[in-house]
Amino acid sequence: MSQLDIPLRGIDHLRFFVGNARQSAYFYRNAFGFDVIAYAGLETKTRHEAGYVLRQGDITFVLASPLGPEHPDSYRIVQHGDGVQDIALQVDDVAAAYRMAIERGAGGVQPPTLLEDEHGVYEYAVIRAYGDTTHSFVNRDRYRGVFAPGYKPLDPDRYSPRTFEPVGLHSIDHIVGNVEEGKMDEWVHFYERVLGFSQLISFDDKDISTDYSALMSKVVQGGGGRIKFPINEPAKSRRRSQIEEYLNFYRGPGVQHIALATDNIIETVRALRHNDVSFLRVPRAYYDMLPERIGLIEENIAELADLGILVDRDDEGYMLQIFTKPVEDRPTLFFEIIERHGSKSFGKGNFKALFEAIEREQARRGTL
């Protein structure tokens, strides 16, 4: 760690701003296997919004909805639809982190603030990131409550423990941001300059991304490698840009996908599919070339093909991944489920493999 780094311990939580937090909590609980652990709202004397805290492993999501148009963020619902509002980072010293970030050019949203209740003191501050997304700096060393002042443990009558099934997700692997065409380097520099991140150069940083995926991507990491943020921008290519579509529907830059890690992707994806989570379809032809492309892996390829799980390899190992369809009506935020076996890459080899698989299927149909 250089002296310029703001000491970041890791990701504390993600705050989603949504149209109906009560129903989103049901979705993330019953489909994605999160436990709902805390609530803030009218019953806990929070007048402006309802908030639900969800947890699975080390992953914490907060789902918040405004209770009226006077909520300072209520415009987000019309503008962006449901999406990630804040990526909260745990720090040793909120005031120092905020001061350093502002000195290095970050935009301030909320100066260092202490919230207090009978469980102690919760400190936070907020800076701007891409689009309307923000980063909170959070310190909860002196707080012993369930999440933060204002939040209370969920009423035990609310959900039946019988209906709760975790699916094996344990941590956030990476969070991807989509930014406007030509802005990727600007945001890479923001993370380097303001937060002391470094750019992660991996073997898959080649032109395949432009040729096959219609996007350009660079990865920054911080917090001793515990925080990884790939940044995408649209690129001119053979295919229409999925990033452009996101930017059109989200009305600007924002979080595109959140990759959640599991130690058993087959079990996790089986459980998610059972819970009606929809995943992107993978052409059968993708698996024809898999043994040749990937070599020996522990998993059974027929089982991976059955579930639509993708595999990529680099010189350090391999990884398995799968992408959900967008989880709201707009084609914006989606999730990735990932299991790593040594590989530190993000699966760019799959862009080319998927593209070629689609072409092989077209060739079979005589439509190429």
Site residues (CB under 5 A) for Fe ion? 259, 336
What single DSSP character describes residue 324?
A: B
Those residues whose C-beta lies under 8 Å from the C-beta of residue 232, and which sit 6 or more positions away, are 176, 177, 178, 179, 184, 215, 216, 217, 243, 256
The single residue listed with the structure tokens 């084609």 is 331
Number of other CB atoms surrounding residue 201 within 10 Å: 9
Which C-beta is closer to Fe ion: that of 50 or that of 333? 333
Identity of the residue numbered 272: L
Which C-beta is closer to Fe ion: that of 46 or that of 256? 256
Find how far residue 321's CA is from the centre of its chain.
Answer: 14
Which C-beta is closer to Fe ion: that of 46 or that of 213? 213
Which C-beta is closer to Fe ion: that of 196 or that of 347? 347
Least distance between Fe ion and beta carbon 91 (Å): 25
Question: Whose CA is closest to 185, among 247, 243, 255, 232?
Answer: 232
Which C-beta is closer to Fe ion: that of 36 or that of 227? 227
Least distance between Fe ion and beta carbon 347 (Å): 6
Which C-beta is closer to Fe ion: that of 46 or that of 350? 350
Least distance between Fe ion and beta carbon 41 (Å): 33
Q: Output the CA torsion sign for 316, 340, 88, 254.
A: positive
Least distance between Fe ion and beta carbon 87 (Å): 15
Do the beta carbons of residue 282 and residue 310 sit within 8 Å? yes
Least distance between Fe ion and beta carbon 118 (Å): 41
Query: Parallel, antiparallel, or unpaired for β 310-314 and 317-323?
Result: antiparallel
Which C-beta is closer to Fe ion: that of 148 or that of 259? 259
Number of other CB atoms surrounding residue 209 within 10 Å: 21
Least distance between Fe ion and beta carbon 176 (Å): 5
Least distance between Fe ion and beta carbon 86 (Å): 20
Least distance between Fe ion and beta carbon 89 (Å): 19
- Strands in the chain per DSSP E: 8-17, 35-40, 49-56, 59-66, 83-91, 108-117, 120-128, 134-139, 152-153, 169-178, 198-200, 215-222, 227-234, 254-262, 310-314, 317-323, 334-341
What are 137's two structure tokens?
Answer: 């700096």
Which C-beta is closer to Fe ion: that of 101 or that of 354? 354
Which C-beta is closer to Fe ion: that of 16 or that of 351? 351
Least distance between Fe ion and beta carbon 337 (Å): 10
What are 236's two structure tokens?
Answer: 């001119």
Do the beta carbons of residue 131 and residue 179 sit within 8 Å? yes
Question: Whose CA is closest to 332, among 18, 3, 8?
Answer: 18
What are 266's two structure tokens?
Answer: 């087959």
